[in-house]
């Protein structure tokens, strides 16, 4: 489903990827580890077209990522970032804004579904009346996950999404994403809840090696 | 009824006024003397030249010359915007030029034709003067708005990129920035509008009254110019941002690094 083919990426003097290859199949649950600066977030940014490889190709569903295809690719991927970068507005307004995008017009923004997804991650429905700026780090992370789920995409790029959650919630989030057969999950995390999950395949991005 | 001309002696008395800030500077050592003298000199020379220039512009009153002068005013404004924003001239000159020319030209013609019923809609006395007032405001609003949009996306790229990941097109992802920057650019002007006449008598009205017209006429002109400035400013800001999108973002929807001055 996703392939990195001889990818080369550097920032100034520092080489992040050199001749990097990786294949990810549909339904796989991959946890990326490695110390900071080894390219974990860059991997996601390459896949979303926020960074372009200097050499090599990225293949998504048998097609090469390029300027025209990237817009379709983004519609299939849900990306949640560590300190989710929300604009400062009311949660409800932000949700409406997202669902107003042409790419998301086909989705219905149903209240019942919203309530059930919020509940899944122990968020109160009243959160939608709050300003995003008032939310705690953990609430923001969970809101990011809720949005990712509401968008009904099947590929998840999760960048340290459980870092601000307590143990019980971490487990809940991990179980949710790991248990669905259809989800392809790429998660950057050092939390044991991810690493020790029976379905997790662990990839060390520092060594560019699978951990067996 | 014309205005009283200022003879050389009167002008001399006008320049004596500069002595007040200079004397205060001498006593309190604000360190502004050089600044004051520079600005006084620049303003006097510029106004003297424009006075002579306008005199001939009014005398010839040729539509082609007037439109050419209008274009020079637009180009000068665009240069001034570029100088005061973090963006490169090469990237934004043409989009901004269009964003300034289209609304300003349209609005001035609208005023001259429908409001002032001029026989010659390019009459220098109206065309050049009104365009100048409108452009001055476009310039200020665009500096605020463009700086705000592009600095924010540059400083917090993740906020913008997150919207792309949620499925937004470049245009959709820019909307929150557009809303915010338009607010920043227009609010000071709206505040001025709301207090106009009570806190301050606007420059144009003062000019018209000193020029010998009745206050009623001055008020009508002022209302006309304020509405035109508001419409023109908003339109130019929105167009300025929308027109620069194409040259500032790549086909992946990412802000190009090279649009910023190094």
Task: Write out pLDDT tens, residues B165-204.
Answer: 999 999 999 999 999 999 999 998 898 888 887 776 777 7
Tell me the helices (H) and strands (E) count for chain B, helix number first.
10, 0
Write out residues in chain B with pLDDT < 70, as ranges.
1-2, 200
Cβ–Cβ below 8 Å for A151 and B166: yes
Task: Give the number of other Cβ atoms within 10 Å of residue A191's Cβ.
Answer: 20
Confidence at residue B200, expressed as pLDDT on a 0 to 100 scale = 67
Confidence at residue B134, expressed as pLDDT on a 0 to 100 scale = 94
Confidence at residue B212, expressed as pLDDT on a 0 to 100 scale = 83
What are the two backbone dihedrals, phi and then psi, of residue B193, each rounded to the nearest 5 degrees?
-60, -45
**Mean pLDDT in chain A?**
91
Query: Domain spans of chain B?
Result: 1-60, 63-259
Closest Cα of chain A to B174: distance in Å? Answer: 12
Which chain A residue's Cα is nearest to B157? A85
Confidence at residue B2, expressed as pLDDT on a 0 to 100 scale = 62
Please give the Cα distance from A156 to A189 (Å, whole number).
13
- What are the tokens at A115? 């309530």
Cβ–Cβ below 8 Å for A70 and B172: no
Residue of B157, B167, B177 to mutate for A, most A C-beta atoms under 10 A = B167
Name chain B contacts of A103, Cβ cutoff 8 Å: 167-169
What's the whole-number mean pLDDT along residues A162-166? Answer: 88
Name chain A contacts of B176, Cβ cutoff 8 Å: 87, 89, 97
**Within an 8 Å CB–CB cutoff, is residue B116 touching chain A?**
no
Which chain B residue's Cα is nearest to A155? B165
Q: In what order do the strands lie in the sheet with A55-60?
A: A14-24, A2-11, A55-60, A63-64
Q: Does A100 score more than 80 pLDDT?
A: yes
Fold of A27-38+76-211: Rossmann fold (3.40.50)
What's the whole-number mean pLDDT along residues A13-34? Answer: 91
Residue B256 DSSP code? P
Beta strands in B59-120 (DSSP E): none
Please give the Cα distance from A185 to A40 (Å, whole number).
14
| A111: confidence class by pLDDT, cuts 50, 70, 90 | confident
Q: Does A66 score more than 80 pLDDT?
A: yes
Residue of B153, B165, B180, B254 to mutate for A, most A C-beta atoms under 10 A = B165
Of B204, B235, B206, residue with least CA distance to B102: B235
Q: Does A64 score more than 90 pLDDT?
A: yes
Confidence at residue A47, expressed as pLDDT on a 0 to 100 scale = 95
Q: Which helix (H) or strand (E) holds B43?
A: helix B33-60
What's the whole-number mean pLDDT along residues A178-190? Answer: 92
What's the whole-number mean pLDDT along residues A69-91? Answer: 89
Task: Give the number of other Cβ atoms within 10 Å of residue A179's Cβ.
Answer: 11
Q: Does A25 score more than 90 pLDDT?
A: yes
Taking a contact as any Cβ pair under 8 Å apart, which residues of chain B between 227 and 246 contact chain A?
none
Name chain A contacts of B254, Cβ cutoff 8 Å: 49-50
Confidence at residue A11, expressed as pLDDT on a 0 to 100 scale = 86
Q: Is the dihedral of CA A66, A72, A74, A76 positive or negative?
A: negative
> In sequence order, which residues have a C-beta less than 8 Å from that of residue A23 and are 6 or more positions away?
A2, A3, A4
Please give the Cα distance from B203 to A34 (Å, whole number).
65
């Amino acid at each position: 489903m996703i392939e990195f083919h001889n990818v080369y990426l550097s920032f100034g003097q520092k080489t992040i990827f050199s001749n990097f290859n990786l294949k990810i199949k549909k339904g796989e649950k991959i946890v990326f580890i490695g110390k900071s600066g080894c390219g974990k977030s860059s991997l996601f940014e390459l896949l979303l077209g926020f960074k372009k490889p200097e050499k090599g190709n990225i293949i998504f569903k048998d097609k090469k990522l390029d300027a025209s295809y990237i817009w379709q690719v983004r519609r299939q991927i849900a990306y949640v970032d560590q300190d989710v970068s929300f604009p400062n507005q009311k949660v409800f307004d932000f949700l409406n804004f997202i669902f107003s995008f042409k790419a998301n017009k086909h989705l219905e923004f149903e209240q019942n579904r919203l309530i059930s997804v919020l509940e899944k991650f122990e968020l109160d429905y009243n959160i939608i009346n709050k300003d995003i700026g008032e939310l705690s780090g953990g609430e923001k992370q969970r809101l990011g996950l809720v949005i990712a789920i509401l968008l009904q995409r099947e590929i998840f790029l999760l960048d340290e999404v459980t870092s601000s959650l307590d143990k019980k919630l971490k487990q809940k989030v991990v179980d949710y994403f790991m248990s669905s057969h259809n989800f392809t999950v790429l998660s950057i995390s050092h939390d044991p809840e991810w690493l020790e999950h029976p379905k997790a395949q662990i990839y060390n991005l520092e060594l560019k090696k699978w951990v067996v | 009824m014309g205005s009283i001309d200022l003879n050389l002696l009167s002008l001399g008395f006008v320049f004596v006024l500069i002595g007040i800030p200079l004397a205060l500077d001498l006593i309190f050592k604000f360190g502004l003397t050089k600044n004051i003298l520079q600005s006084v000199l620049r303003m006097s020379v510029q106004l003297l030249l424009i006075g002579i220039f306008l005199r001939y512009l009014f005398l010839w009153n040729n539509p082609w010359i007037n439109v050419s002068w209008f274009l020079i005013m637009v180009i000068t404004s665009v240069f001034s915007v570029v100088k005061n924003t973090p963006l490169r001239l090469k990237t934004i000159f043409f989009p901004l030029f269009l964003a300034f020319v289209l609304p300003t030209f349209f609005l001035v013609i609208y005023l001259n034709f429908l409001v002032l019923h001029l026989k010659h809609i390019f009459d220098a006395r109206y065309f050049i003067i009104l365009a100048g007032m409108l452009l001055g405001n476009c310039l200020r609003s665009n500096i605020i708005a463009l700086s705000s949009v592009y600095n924010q996306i540059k400083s917090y790229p993740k906020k913008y990129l997150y919207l792309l990941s949620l499925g937004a097109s470049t245009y959709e992802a820019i909307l929150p920035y557009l809303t915010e920057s338009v607010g920043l650019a227009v609010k000071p002007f709206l505040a001025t509008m709301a207090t106009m006449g009570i806190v301050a008598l606007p420059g144009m009205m003062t000019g018209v009254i000193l020029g010998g017209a009745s206050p009623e006429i001055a008020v009508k002109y002022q209302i006309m110019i304020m509405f035109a400035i508001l419409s023109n400013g908003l339109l130019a800001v929105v167009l300025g941002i929308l027109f620069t999108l194409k040259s500032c973002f790549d086909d992946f929807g990412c802000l190009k690094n090279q649009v910023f001055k190094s």
